Amino acid sequence: MNVALIGYGEVGRILAEDLRAGGHAVSAFDVLFSGPCQPMHEHARRHGVQLAPSHHEAISGAELVICAVTARHTVEAARACGEGMAAGAFFLDFNSASPGAKAQAAELVVRGGGRYVEGAVMTAVPPHRLRVPLLLGGPDAAALLPVLHGLGFTPRLCSSKLGVASATKMCRSVMIKGLEAMVIESLTAARHYGVEDAVVASLGETFPGVDWEHQAAYFFQRVIEHGRRRGEEMHEAAATVREAGLHPWSAEATAARQDWMAALADAGTFGRRGESGFARSPDWRVEADRILARDERSGGA
């Protein structure tokens, strides 16, 4: 099958690897191709992915377009692809965006003759790769279901109504990304006061099914590496809550904390990030100490 990937970040590269391993032709475009993106080019050469200089050239002749960009580029990417898609081709929107943003994206794709399907990715992609839990939504979701099964995905039909799958994803994110932000804030403050071991022990007593040491390390690492993307997702989660008629106090606060962590990572607070995709230290205490040291130097910035 001819598959085009719009977005060649962590998710795009994982999908490319698995699709190419299945014998499918893969083309890709990313707005970062015009910048310092040597690792992307090396990855594409290694896996036989055809890099394209534009959205239109990437999707030319593609039977399936998978869009995996950052949340704030959801509508923009759909607009760029809408008029260039082959008639009847599927557009699978992997992006973590609000139901309102998905509706805008769908209108742009359908207007150009494509078949839009929202895909809500329900957990982290790396551990599951192509078989990550995926909810499909929209009028053409049922038609895409067997196609994705044939490619090796494990999707589940959520609803023929557009927005249901993305609402499920966004409401979940209020909880999951919020928990990340709370753990980082709580344990970093606890580290400052020297009570982190007592706090972790208390959490273990209250929630005995969770390994809080392991969970904290995972949360710190993922947010340090992907805080920018997570922050954008939480702004969309806030929009989802707002679309429901509620003020998104929790989602907005989580977005602010994720953005804050991303700014610290960009400033080099946590050292250089490697190809592993995680922070340099697997010990959350090391990262908490770096945050505290950064705050002392910057006056709390």
239-297 pLDDT tens trace: 999 999 999 999 999 999 999 999 998 888 887 654 444 456 789 999 999 999 985 55
Nearest to 90 by CA among 66, 53, 107, 115: 115
Beta bridge partners of 137: 118, 159
Domain 2-162 and domain 166-298, same fold? Reply is no
pLDDT at 185 over 50: yes
Q: Give the model's pLDDT for residue 247.
A: 98
Angle at CA of residue 229, ends 227 and 235, nearest 5°: 100
- What pLDDT score was predicted for residue 296? 53
For 166-298, CATH number?
1.10.1040.10
Query: For 2-162, which CATH superfamily applies?
Result: NAD(P)-binding Rossmann-like Domain (3.40.50.720)
Which of residues 62 and 277 earns the better pLDDT score?
62
Closest to 65 (Cα-Cα) out of 43, 90, 39: 90
Neighbours of 205 (CB within 10 A): 7
pLDDT, residue 301, reads: 47
Question: Any idea which of 46-60, 102-116, 243-257, 267-281 has the lowest mean pLDDT?
Answer: 267-281
Q: Is the pLDDT of residue 221 over 70?
A: yes
The answer to whether 107 and 94 are in contact (CB under 8 A) is no
300: pLDDT strictly greater than 90? no
Q: What is the mean pLDDT of residues 216-236?
A: 93
- Note the pLDDT of residue 299: 44
Query: What confidence score (pLDDT) does residue 36 get?
Result: 67
pLDDT tens digits, 189-207? 999 999 999 999 999 999 9
pLDDT of residue 172 exceeding 60, the answer is yes
299: left (phi over 0), alpha (psi -120 to 50) or beta: left
Q: What percent of the chain has pLDDT over 70?
A: 94
Show me where the domains of the chain are located.
2-162, 166-298
Whether residue 54 has pLDDT greater than 70? yes
- 193 exposed, middle or buried (CB, 10 Å; 0-12, 13-18, 19+)? exposed
Sequence-distant (≥ 6) Cβ neighbours of residue 275 within 8 angstroms? 39
> Does position 173 have pLDDT exceeding 80, yes or no?
yes
| Mean pLDDT in residue range 117-137 | 94
Tell me what pLDDT residue 280 has: 62
Contacts of 240 (CB under 8 A, 6+ apart): 98, 99, 100, 166, 167, 170, 171, 248, 251
Residue 273: per-residue pLDDT: 52
- pLDDT for 83 equals 85
